[in-house]
Amino acid sequence: ERRRMAVAARRLGVNYQEISPKEVKEMWPLANTDDIIAGFFTPEDGRVNPVDFTMALAKGARMGGAEIYEDTEVIGINQKNGCVTGVITPRGEITAEIVVNCAGLWGREVGKMAGVNVPLQAAEHYYLLTEPIEGVHPDLPIIEDFGRYSYFREEVGGLLVGFFEPVAGPWATNGIPKDFAFGELKPDWDRMMPYIEIAMERIPILRDTGIHKFFCGPESFTPDGGPLLGEAPELKNFFVAAGLNSLGILQGGGVGKIMAQWIVDGYCPVESLDIDIARCFKFQGNQHYLTDRTVETLGLQYQLIYPNFANETARDLRKTALHDRFAKAGAFFTEGMGWEIPDWFAPEGKEAKIEAYSWGRQNWFGYLAEEHKACREDVILMDLTSMSKIFVQGYDAEKVLNKICANDVAVPVGKVVYTQWLNERGGMEADLTVTRLAEDKYLIISAGDFYTHDMLWLKKYIPADAHAFVTDMTSAYTLLNIQGPKSRELIQRLTTADVSKEAFPYMTAREIDLKYASALALRVTFEGELGFELYIPTEFSSHVYDALLENSEGLGLRHAGFQALNSCRIEKAYREYGYDMDNQDTPLEAGLEFTVKFDKPGGFIGRDALLRHKESGPLKYRLVQFLLEDPEPLLYGNELIYRDGVNVGYLQTGAYGFTLGGAVGMGFVENEEGATKEFINSGKYEIDIAGNRYPAKASLTPMYDPEGKRVRS
């Protein structure tokens, strides 16, 4: 974990060094290093007095013309026509074009005043201060000991020992008391003593040192551990800068810079998918959900996050209609957006559980190999109900969507269009399919992670006077994904419709019968095989599922989970928004220019910027597929890419390509003189995994089925 982090740190210019236990002991003579394999040291790291730091920022703000009103409570937020207009205080109202909620612990309460969901919850955060200790001085580095959930630093000649325990104590779940400020909380000694004892094992002298103060105070945490930044989806010009998860001083400067640019320029200057408050769902602001999730999220600050980690708290919230059937079939469920999503399947007689998280081959790796093989050779059944399903209907549906989509959606009824939504700078805001169901009706399918963002984008760019109406249909349909060379035969056994290649070609949609039920079938794939997505009215889903299993004899049908989808799609070099690419990238760098119709009537949002970018010269970076020549190492993302010994980028994602026979990954290759085809194809590549470099093949085209014959078969 730490060696992989060191590689990632280097690409950001951070000097993150691995040091020996002996070097740790030399830096920290009081530390017990008997159980240490290695340490990691950041020489340029430092510390700052929070009070002095805050006062310096306040002074700078005043010098820049800001007015600061202390001891002034905000008791309300004014708004008009969906736009914030100011704040209300006991001293009077303050008119403002922009309001920023940076209220920290009180962020959720301030959000409620404006009708804005700010999902964060306060929790008890502990530290203790010791009496002075001989040998402790201000130049001692800060120790972070994840295995003991603690950190150690010098404080007035003694030690400050802080904790991020794995089972935390939420505080003030009904809201922060109005009279609370800079106060202390009553400590829970019984809960904390086990963590204090194991922390003392790292610095044994603590057992014989007096405790000057045992402090418990609140910090706020978000459901996914990420900050909540940006314009609130519910209220125009109301921005949020909260939820920094006990890292406020560390991240405050960067957050301030980003927010200032966001407000002035109208967009975030960095990749924002993991920090934008628009990623959040309404249910995440519910009191019971936040209380239960916060028990876990505080401790995640000091937990090693292994591949495929999933939260364990606040689970079983959103279940598909077929959840119990998939559980019976051996599903191990991960969690996403509250959904319980089948991740992989254990074979009959095996328990669906992770025996131990690891960066190596976990116990389910072999199960994944069988799911992958079934997709490539036979047929798989996968539950993708968590995907967002949105109807856009009305006389102006074609007009408004063609303005939003970079591809042309003025297509015949029954046609499926793969497209991106772009911002005014040509960067991608969404990557999805649009299916024309009728002259005045479209179906949009996108990743469930981006539901809130996608709905907000439609609201923003569909004119108020347009005859176009948006409806969330996610829960109305079960989405069963049937993929593999034998998928057509399986579907044909259930339907009277002709699903042959000629009658039902690739990237088309039609209504078909499936035994007693009817469903919308899309001839699409995200795995790189012949396949169908079945959109089944929820009440019919059990019937269709059972019929698929009952009629699968001789086809090798196998249940498959998200891990199989991911390994197949990366092997086929299919891009996934939010992982391989984001809103800072354009379709040109991502290799998706074929989805852009520059010449369609009326243009599209971002067209002019993208055209200027296209005409400005060779691209500086491009998305490339990589395959390790050694079949043993695994890729997950963030590994550095070397071309002829020079770092030229890093992997965005990685998985194991069972058909290709090695780990595969997607990453951007950069070159200031131009990331041309010739430049990319002429280099010798290596991928750095935890400090070791492995030879790799690189390709701008898919290494698996490069001509796409299988998907069109």
Neighbouring C-beta atoms of residue 190, cutoff 10 Å: 7
Write down the mean pLDDT value for the chain: 97
What is the percent of the chain with per-residue pLDDT over 90, rounded to a whole number?
95
d(CA 245, CA 250) in angstroms, rounded, equals: 11
What's the rounded mean pLDDT across residues 86-98?
97
Pick the range with the lowest mean pLDDT from 47-61, 108-122, 221-235, 586-600: 47-61
Q: What is the pLDDT of residues 105-125, one digit of tens each?
A: 999 999 999 999 999 999 999
Pick the range with the lowest mean pLDDT from 6-20, 215-229, 251-265: 6-20
Name residues whose C-beta falls within 8 Å of residue 202's C-beta, 6 or more positions apart in sequence. Answer: 31, 32, 143, 145, 148, 150, 152
What's the rounded mean pLDDT across residues 393-417?
99
The number of residues in the chain equals 713
What's the rounded mean pLDDT across residues 558-574?
99
Q: What is the pLDDT of residues 638-695, one digit of tens each?
A: 999 999 999 999 999 999 999 999 999 999 999 999 999 999 999 999 999 999 999 9
**pLDDT value of position 9:** 84
- CATH 2.40.30.110-classified regions of the chain: 617-713
Q: What is the pLDDT of residues 254-275, one digit of tens each?
A: 999 999 999 999 999 999 999 9
**pLDDT value of position 361:** 97
Kindly tell me if the per-residue pLDDT of 182 is higher than 90: no
Kindly tell me if the per-residue pLDDT of 282 is higher than 90: yes
Q: What is the pLDDT of residues 470-480, one digit of tens each?
A: 999 999 999 99
- CATH 3.50.50.60-classified regions of the chain: 50-119+224-289
DSSP E strands, 113-232: 121-130, 143-145, 150-155, 158-163, 211-221, 228-231
The answer regarding whether domain 617-713 maps to CATH 3.90.870.10 reads no
E strand or H helix at 83, and its extent?
strand 83-89
Kindly tell me if the per-residue pLDDT of 11 is higher than 80: no
| Tokens 């599209």 sit on residue | 604
442 contacts 393 by C-beta, under 8 angstroms: yes
Kindly tell me if the per-residue pLDDT of 3 is higher than 90: no
Q: What is the pLDDT of residues 308-360, one digit of tens each?
A: 999 999 999 999 999 999 999 999 999 999 999 999 999 999 999 999 999 99
**pLDDT value of position 5:** 82
Task: Give the confidence band of 179 by pLDDT, cuts at 50, 70, 90.
Answer: confident
584, 589, 590, 593: CA torsion to nearest 10: 120
Kindly tell me if the per-residue pLDDT of 291 is higher than 80: yes
CATH code assigned to 50-119+224-289: 3.50.50.60
Half-sphere exposure for 599 (CA within 13 Å, toward CB): 1
d(CA 96, CA 403) in angstroms, rounded, equals: 32
490 contacts 551 by C-beta, under 8 angstroms: yes
Buried b (16+ CB within 10 A) or exposed e, 5-20: ebbbbbeeeeebeeee
**pLDDT value of position 2:** 82
- CATH 3.30.70.1400-classified regions of the chain: 388-473
pTM score > 0.85 for this model?
Answer: yes
**pLDDT value of position 712:** 97
Task: Give the confidence band of 304 by pLDDT, cuts at 50, 70, 90.
Answer: confident
* Helices 365-377, 562-571: crossing angle, 10 deg rounding: 60
Residue 172, token pair as written in the block = 């003030």
203 contacts 152 by C-beta, under 8 angstroms: yes
CATH code assigned to 388-473: 3.30.70.1400
